Structure formats: C-alpha cells, structure tokens
Structure 1
Amino acid sequence: MCAALAEAGAHVVVTSRDEAACARAAQALCDAGLSASSHRLDLADEASIRALRDDTVAAYGRIDVLVNGSVHRQGGDPAGTTAADWAATSLVNSTGLFLITRDIGEQMMAQGSGSIVNIGSIYGVVGPTFDIYAGTGMTSPAFYAYDKGGMVNLTRYLACYYGPHGVRVNCLSPGGLRSDGQPDAFLAAYRAATPLGRLAGPDDIKGPIVFLASDASAYLTGTNIMVDGGWTAH
C-alpha cells in the first residue's frame, strides 16, 4: 500500500512501533525514486498518535490521506483467548483506531478535505470457514471478527460525521492475501473455495487503495469495498 500511494505521487509517511523497520521501508521507496519518510507510531499510546499528527503537519503542512492498516494479534479462538489477550487487541484495534482517526480527522476537517481508508477484512462481514484451516495449525481468531466488523460500521458512522466537512471515510476489505509460510493445505483449500481460484497478491491491493485515497473516488464515502476474489459472493 505504501508503494502504491508513493507510485501515484504521494509523499508517504511509513509508521510502525519498530523505528528501524519504518526507516528501512521508507528508504526502499526513496531508493526507487519515490517520496517517503518514516515516523514511529504506537497505537496503544495516545501521545504517540498525537506526535505523529503534529510532526507530520509541521513537516508537510497537511495530511491528505490516512490509511488505518495496523492490527495487533493476540489470542486465538474463544478457548485460546484470555481476558488479557482481548484487552491488548482492543487497545490497539479499537481504541487506537478511534484515536488516530479522531486526531487526524480533526486536522482534515480544518483543511476542508481528506480521505480516510480503513483496512478491514472479509471476516468483518462474514463468519470464518474453519474447514480451510484443518490440519494447518492456523485458525481465525475471535478478536479479528469483532474488531474488523466494528471497523466496517465505524466507517459508516465517520462517513456521516466527517462528510459535511469534506472528509471521506471508506473501508477496503481484502481476503486471502498470500504471505510467506502459509501451509500448502491452507493454500489449496482457500483456492478451492474462492471463485477466482487463487489468493491475492500485493498488486491486487494497489489499485483499490489508490482509488479510495484519490479524487477518483471523490463521490464515494461510507462504503466497504471487498477485494476477495469473490469469497463473499457466495
């Protein structure tokens, strides 16, 4: 997503709790002739969120796009999730999401424009198909359905709240994103259950994120775009 936005002409501020990883990611974009910088961000720390906003505005004058793509993973299915696990995921995936959107949303309202893109999931709109995880050691964690489902409706709420101020809020919900280390059994089961017969690669996310961030979607707000190879079509 960072590469897609930078390739489209944006200056991208790459954020993470890991400052070194941020710096490497931003430098890789710069080495490719794109415009990027890095900034540490801990969504569990309200002061860190505010520092990101203030430092970015001080450096560049405005914030045109916010992409909420972070997720804290802790716990598993209900039997494998403790109260501490649930609190830890909620602190980032719910409270942190709200705080960063509120703080940067205020800046966008002052500007009179902006686009907020929340990164959801197929599991924000449908329940998991546990059969695809059989024999893999993988599962669909309980917190994920809760947090991503809440994100979808928060998107609608914020679209109504920010719309009169020129700020759009949309959700992009991928499904089946290919990553290293996924077991062959899972990959085969996922392909068989998806109308397009494959998982998503990085390029499948690029077009939709640029669309939602840019004026190409100027009359679109409060929507949830599924990028899932047809998973949720049946």
Structure 2
Amino acid sequence: MIQKKTNAQLFDLSGRVAVITGAAGQLGPEYADCLSEAGADVVISDIAASKNRSEEITSDIKKKYGTNPKSITMDLFEKESIEQAAKEILDSYGKVDILINNAAYNPITKETQAAFENYNLDAWKKILDVDLTGVFLTCQVFGKIMLEQQYGVITNIGSVYGMVGADQRIYGESGLNSAAAYAAAKGGVINLTRYLAAYWQGKNIRVNSISPGGVYNPGVQNEEFLNNYMYKTMLGRMAAPSDLRGAMLFLCSDASDFVTGSNLVVDAGWTSW
C-alpha cells in the first residue's frame, strides 16, 4: 500500500544526490539552487573552461543552504570523462539519485546561423554531439548506476523547438535564425526520454523531460526579436530562469512519483495556439 505523504514530504529532497550537466550555464545555477533549497546535495558539472564558475556556484550554495555540493569537470564529448566523473561522484556520495541533462551547445556563429542549404556539416555534428549524443552517454553511464541501486530520476531538457517548427519570422532582419541542428537534437532528446522511460519500466527509474520556451537572456536578444517572441506567447513575455524551478522540482521529487515518459512544456502557451 502506498503511504500518503504531506506536501512538504513530496517536495523534500533531503539526502538525495543530484547531478546537473552544464551547470555553469544560464539555467544550470537556477536548477542547482532550486534542488539545494529542497535539501539535495548537488553536483555542479561542466567543462574545464567553466571550472571557476562551477566552483563559485558550489561555494555559494554551500553558504546559502548548508548542503554538501560538489563541482566536477565533465566533458560530454568523451564517454571516458563521464565515466570518470561518475566514479568521483560515487566515491564522494555513494549514489546518484537524480540526473539533470541540462548541458547544451547552440552558439551564435557564422556557421550555425548559415542558411539550411549551406549549413556546415561540422557545425551540425558538434551541436548534435553535445545536445543529443551527450544525453545518450550520460543516460548510459548514470543509468547503469541507477539500475544497480534500483532507483533513479532522470530529467532531460528539451525545447519547444524540439516539438514544433521554429517560426523564422520572429528573428526579423537580424540575420539570425534557429539552427536546424538544435531542433533535430532537442526533438531527439524528447523521444529518447520516452524510449528510456519505456525501456526502464519496472526498474524504479523515471525519465521525463522539460521543454522550455524562450528564456530571456539580456544582451543577447535584440528588441525586435523580443517583441516578436513575446507577441506569440499567451502571457506576453519570455521566461525568466526562475520560471522553470517549479517544473524541475516537481519532476525530480516524489511529487511526480506517478509521472514518467512525459514532456512537461513550460512555454507560456507558445505551442498551444
């Protein structure tokens, strides 16, 4: 018989260990803060170039919440790097309860902003290597750990651009666009999520995804794009990183014990018109 929990118990992550990839980026620190506030010990993982930022986030969390966070280098291009990171995490904590596949690579460069007809193959491969193959590899490595411990929660980060075609009109005369590789990768992440949820059914491993809409990034998005994008949302604005906290905490906690194989869309109605 399933024991009924209080609301506080449903969202309590005390004693849980949560690994966050790409944790030094725009959204990673928000996820780390959210789960730490709920009591989790978070592992801030990112590439070597982000080591200082990762350590800063780790230090801030420890001071703020008194939990036991850890920063670690993990290169999603290399399975050996992921395996080594997993070993270090197990040596420190003895388990991995939660994996958040947040890392993404979608730079604004001449190659990634090229017209589809002239899109560079190397640029295509690099985006897919991080945004899709990286998720595949981390799910492989940490999925084995979760199978052995007979428990785990994986939350992958998709995108509305993995669900619907990008409306290129919102980019106006900026010369920018949404890269085809990013759309292909995020669509793959969403369906890989469903595949793994079904594959690990009965193993006490839940796998879900969150598909955010556009997140406001000061200094990167121009006024024309912002106005065009906000016009297409039902709430009339872009997301702030904090708008994703509730969805993340829900999927990583016992509040979503009966949820797996789902894609939780957080887009202010962008995909519901």
Measured in 2, the distance between the counterparts of 1:67 and 1:42 equals 15
TM-score where L is the length of structure 2: 0.83
Give the alignment of 1:209-224 within 5 angstroms: 209-224=248-263
* Count of matched residue positions in the alignment of Structure 1 and Structure 2: 234
Q: Aligned AA for 2:45? A: T
> Percentage identity across aligned positions?
38
SS in 2 for 1:151: helix
Q: Is the contact between residue 210 and residue 264 of structure 2 (CA under 8 Å) also seen in structure 1?
A: yes
Compute the displacement of 1:34 (Å): 4.2
Matched, 1:71 2:104: yes
Q: Is the contact between residue 174 and residue 227 of structure 1 (CA under 8 Å) also seen in structure 2?
A: yes
Q: Is the contact between residue 156 and residue 223 of structure 1 (CA under 8 Å) also seen in structure 2?
A: yes
Compute the displacement of 1:8 (Å): 0.9
Q: Is the contact between residue 16 and residue 39 of structure 1 (CA under 8 Å) also seen in structure 2?
A: yes
Q: Is the contact between residue 176 and residue 228 of structure 1 (CA under 8 Å) also seen in structure 2?
A: yes
Counterpart position of 1:57: 90
Measured in 1, the distance between the counterparts of 2:77 and 2:58 equals 22
Q: Is the contact between residue 66 and residue 115 of structure 1 (CA under 8 Å) also seen in structure 2?
A: yes
RMSD: 1.3
SS in 2 for 1:165: coil
Deviations 1:155-191 (A, max 9, x none): 0100011121100000100001111111111111111
- The counterpart of 2:64, out of the listed 32, 37, 41, is 32
Measured in 1, the distance between the counterparts of 2:192 and 2:139 equals 10
Give the alignment of 1:189-200 within 5 angstroms: 189-200=228-239
Counterpart position of 2:213: 175
SS in 2 for 1:173: strand
Compute the displacement of 1:86 (Å): 1.5
Answer 1 or 2: which has greater helix percent: 1
Structure 2 gaps of 5+ residues are 1-30
174-183 vs 214-223, which deviates more? 174-183
Measured in 1, the distance between the counterparts of 2:152 and 2:230 equals 37
208-217 vs 26-35, which deviates more? 26-35
Q: Is the contact between residue 7 and residue 34 of structure 1 (CA under 8 Å) also seen in structure 2?
A: no
Structure 1 gaps of 5+ residues are none
Measured in 1, the distance between the counterparts of 2:119 and 2:54 equals 30
Compute the displacement of 1:80 (Å): 5.1
Give the alignment of 1:144-155 within 5 angstroms: 144-155=182-193
TM-score where L is the length of structure 1: 0.96
Which segments of structure 1 move beyond 6 Å, counting only runs of 4 or more? none
Deviations 1:188-223 (A, max 9, x none): 111111111111112210000000001100010000
SS in 1 for 2:231: helix
Counterpart position of 2:39: 9
Measured in 1, the distance between the counterparts of 2:200 and 2:51 equals 31
Give the alignment of 1:118-137 within 5 angstroms: 118-137=156-175
Measured in 1, the distance between the counterparts of 2:194 and 2:132 equals 15
Q: Aligned AA for 2:196? A: L
Compute the displacement of 1:110 (Å): 0.9
